[in-house]
Amino acid sequence: MPALGAPPALRVFGVTKRFGAVVANKDISLDVARGEIHAIVGENGAGKSTLMSILMGMVTPDAGEIFVDGVRARIRSPRDAAALGLGMVHQHFMLVDTLDVLDNVMLGAEGGALLAAGRKRARARLADLSRAHGLSVDPDAIVGDLPVGLRQRVEILKALARDARIIILDEPTAALTPDEANDLGLLMRWLAADGASILFITHKLNEALAVADRISVLRAGAVVATHAAAATDARELARAMVGRDVDNALSRGDGPPGRTLLEARDLTARGADGRARLSGVSLSLRAGEIVGVAGVAGHGQSELIEVLAAMRRMESGALALDGEPVDAAVYDPARARALGVAHVPEDRSRHGIVGEFPAAGNAILGRHRDRALGRRLLDPGAIRARCADLMERWDVRPRAPDTPVGRFSGGNQQKLVFAREIEAGPAILLVGQPTRGVDIGAIEAIHRRLLALRDAGKAILLVSVELDEIFALSDRILVMHEGRIVGERATASTDRREIGLLMAGVVERAA
C-alpha cells in the first residue's frame, strides 16, 4: 500500500497533446503511488496510447508536466524515460525476433562499446531476476522462436533489468490465455508489493477490477473518472467509458437449431512456411446457432475461417454446404459467396476494406456483380444508393458514401462490412474477431445483430480471442490448440476456467 506523505512515484499534471485538429490528450492529470497498481481503461482512440508514448518519451506533449518521485521530469526520449526508471511492456512487443534473449534485454543499455562484458552482466542479471521473481527464460533462445507468453516475459525482464520502478503495461493480456493472464496479474501484484508502481492499460474492465488498486477512465482524451477498484464495478466503469448507460444484457430465442448447413471433415492446411496450421479439423454448423471458436491467437483459428471462406487452400479434407459436397479445386471466394457463405474477415484493413476507397466502393466489394449495380458498366449512382441504404440500416456514421472508408472509426468500418455481407442474404456467416478495434457502442450493436441473425435461422461461426464475446454469443464452443479442435462444449455447461485450460493445451481427461 502507498506510503502516506511520500510524493507519488509518478504524477501526470495537465498533459495536453494535439495532432492537427484532434485533441488526443486533454488536460490529463493522474497519480500513481509507490506500490500501487493503477489501471487506465478506455476505448480505442480514447488517448491511452498517446499518454503512454508521452511518458516513454516517444511523443512530446504540447502542455503539462510530469513528476517522478516529486521531481519535475523532462522526458524527451526513451533514454530519458529509462533513466528516470520508467519501463514499458508494449502490446506489440518491442523485441527483435532474430536476436536472442540476452541481446534483446541489453539493446539500448549495452554498457560499453563491446558486447561481451554486457552479455555477461545481462546473463547474471537475468539469473537474479529469475530467482527473485520466478521469471525464467533461456537467455540464449532466439526471441522469434519463443511463444507469445515467453516473449512478453522477455519484455518484462527487459524493463526489470533496467531497474524500472514505474512499469507501464499496455494491453498485456491481449495475447495470453486466461491462465497466463492470471499469472501476469499475480506478477503485477508481486512487483507492486516489492515497491514498483504499475500503470496497467486495458480495455477489459474485469481485469482492471481484479488487479488494480485504482482505476482511471479515459474518454475522448480526458480522464473522466478515477475510482478505487474496491469501490466501483464494471457497470459504472463502462458508463464512464462510453458516456451513457451500456446495456449488455443480450437476449436470444430458444428455438432448437435447424438442419446442418456447413459440414467440414478432417480439414488440413499449411502455412507459407510449410508448417501444418490445421490438422484434421472437423466441425458442423447448423441453422440458427452460433458456434464460437476459442483459442489463443495463432493456434489455427484464422486458418480455419480462411479455409472455410475459400481464402486459403485446404490441403485435404471435405467440405459440404447445405448437404452438397464442395469441390475444393474450384472453391474460391466468389464461389463461396454464390453458395451463400458470407465472410467478415478478422483483419479488417487487409481483407475487409480498401481504406483509400470511398465507403460506397467498399459497400459493394465482392458483391459488385449484382445486376442492380449496373449491367455492363458499374452505375455510380446505384452504388452510392446501395451504400446509403446499408448505412441507414446499420447506422453507419457519418452517412457519407463518398468519404474514404479509412477515415471512419473502426466501429463504423466494421458495421459497413457487416452490412455488406449480411444484407446480401447469406445462409452461413463466418465472422472473425467481429469487435476488434471497435468501440463499445458498436460492439453492442454488432452483438445484437449477430443474435438476431441466429434467431432468424442463419448459421454463424464466430472466431474471437475475446472469451467474453465467445461466452456471450455462442451456443457451442470449440477450442483450438495447435491446429486441432481439442474440445467442444455447450456454452451452458462449461465455464471460462475449463475453456482456458483447453486453450492452454491441457489435454482433456476421459471423464
21 makes contact with other proteins (CB under 8 A): no
Can you tell me which of 5, 20, 21, 116 binds other proteins, judged by CB under 8 A?
116
94 makes contact with other proteins (CB under 8 A): yes
N-term to C-term CA, the chain: 45
Cα dist. 226→23, 223, 232, 244 in Å? 20, 8, 10, 17
Tell me how far, at minimum, the Cβ of 144 lies from other proteins, in Å. 9
DSSP, collapsed to helix, strand or coil, labels residue 278 as: strand
DSSP letters, 161-181, are: HTT-SEEEEESTTTTS-HHHH
56 makes contact with other proteins (CB under 8 A): yes
90 makes contact with other proteins (CB under 8 A): yes
Can you tell me which of 2, 64, 78, 280 binds other proteins, judged by CB under 8 A?
78
77 makes contact with other proteins (CB under 8 A): yes
107 makes contact with other proteins (CB under 8 A): yes
Cell digits of residue 32: 500513481
DSSP letters, 452-474, are: HHHHTT-EEEEE-S-HHHHHHH-
Can you tell me which of 35, 45, 47, 118 binds other proteins, judged by CB under 8 A?
118
- Given strand 484-490, what is the order of strands in its sheet? 341-344, 428-432, 459-463, 289-294, 476-481, 484-490
Query: What is the size of the binding site for other proteins (CB under 8 A)?
Result: 32
Question: What is the spatial distance between Cα 244 and Cα 241, in angstroms, rounded to a whole number?
Answer: 8
Cα dist. 454→50, 256, 306, 381, 449 in Å? 39, 11, 21, 33, 9
51 makes contact with other proteins (CB under 8 A): no
Among the residue ranges 106-114, 130-138, 396-404, 466-474, the one whose residues contact other proteins (CB under 8 A): 106-114
Q: Are 201 and 210 spatial neighbours (Cβ–Cβ below 8 Å)?
A: no
22 makes contact with other proteins (CB under 8 A): no
Q: Are 464 and 433 spatial neighbours (Cβ–Cβ below 8 Å)?
A: yes
Tell me how far, at minimum, the Cβ of 122 lies from other proteins, in Å. 11
Tell me how far, at minimum, the Cβ of 331 lies from other proteins, in Å. 26
Tell me how far, at minimum, the Cβ of 141 lies from other proteins, in Å. 16
Can you tell me which of 70, 108, 147, 195 binds other proteins, judged by CB under 8 A?
108
Q: Which is nearer to other proteins, 116 or 492 (CB)?
A: 116
Q: Are 63 and 16 spatial neighbours (Cβ–Cβ below 8 Å)?
A: yes
170 makes contact with other proteins (CB under 8 A): no
120 makes contact with other proteins (CB under 8 A): no
Residues of this chain that interact with other proteins (CB under 8 A) are 53, 56, 58-59, 77-79, 81-82, 88, 90, 93-99, 103-104, 106-110, 112-116, 118, 158
